[in-house]
Amino acid sequence: MKPIWIVSLAAIVLFSFAPQIGRADVNVGLSIQDGEVRSFYLAVGDYYGVPERSLIVVRERHIPDDEVPVVFFLAREARVGPDVIVNLRLSGKSWMDITLHYGLSPQIFYVPLAVDPGPPYGKAWGYYKKHPRNKWREIRLADADVVNFVNLKFISNHYGYSPDQVVKMRSGGKKFVAIHGEIKKGKEKSKAKAESTGKSGKKESKGKSKGKGKY
């Protein structure tokens, strides 16, 4: 039979760690206080099929909000963990460096648009339009271009929203967190209006693709 003092010591150690474990779980859920930013992150997690904990870990490594979708996009395309992508990024590599590191083509960033989008998309989009597809591997996009295209894919696919409309909002100088918030509120408002007028008999498609996307 074990001495009483050993059993007591074990109990003290166990209970001293239990609250800390609980607090860690709570902190992960509450670490994003800004509602609009939190909504953006949750949508990214829903779209790419990743848990909230993974999103928080990426954010806590100081990846800018607008670049978080890029981490999960490249992780999916390269079939590696998001932590691997983050490590490469923080080592000083550009998003294009990381893309080429895994043998991926810049073609993965392309989004078809109805008209010439103008800045900040125009120059990069023009590269795709001026070169045949068999030359797209030679295209080199700046970090800002990659961020713009990946967020365009994410938001337009996730909400079934016109890419051209997202481009228009971005051209006005809005950040993607704000663009996402505006589109999400618009969708929710439209749904609420439909329900109030008795048009909610059929399930409304949200346009979610779980990261597979239309393009």
Reading the chain (215 residues) residue by residue, the pLDDT tens digits are 445 444 344 433 333 333 332 333 333 443 555 789 999 999 999 999 999 889 989 989 999 999 999 999 999 999 999 999 999 999 999 999 999 999 999 999 999 999 889 999 999 999 999 999 999 999 999 999 999 999 999 999 999 999 999 999 999 889 999 999 999 998 888 788 777 776 555 554 444 555 555 66
Q: Which pLDDT value is given to residue 76?
A: 97
The domains of the chain are located at 30-196
Q: Could you tell me the pTM of the whole model?
A: 0.77
Beta-carbon contacts of residue 88 (< 8 Å; ≥ 6 apart): 97, 98, 101
Q: Which pLDDT value is given to residue 11?
A: 39
Q: Which pLDDT value is given to residue 210?
A: 54
DSSP 8-state assignment for residue 71: H
Beta-carbon contacts of residue 137 (< 8 Å; ≥ 6 apart): 105, 106, 107
Q: Which pLDDT value is given to residue 192?
A: 81
Helix axes 176-196, 163-171, angle to 10 degrees: 130
User: What number of other Cβ atoms are within 10 A of residue 89's Cβ?
Assistant: 21
Q: Which pLDDT value is given to residue 26?
A: 30
CA distance 11 to 14: 5
Helices (H), 91-211: 95-101, 122-130, 143-159, 163-171, 176-196
On the CB side of 38, CA atoms within 13 Å amount to 8
CA distance 17 to 11: 10
Q: Which pLDDT value is given to residue 32?
A: 58
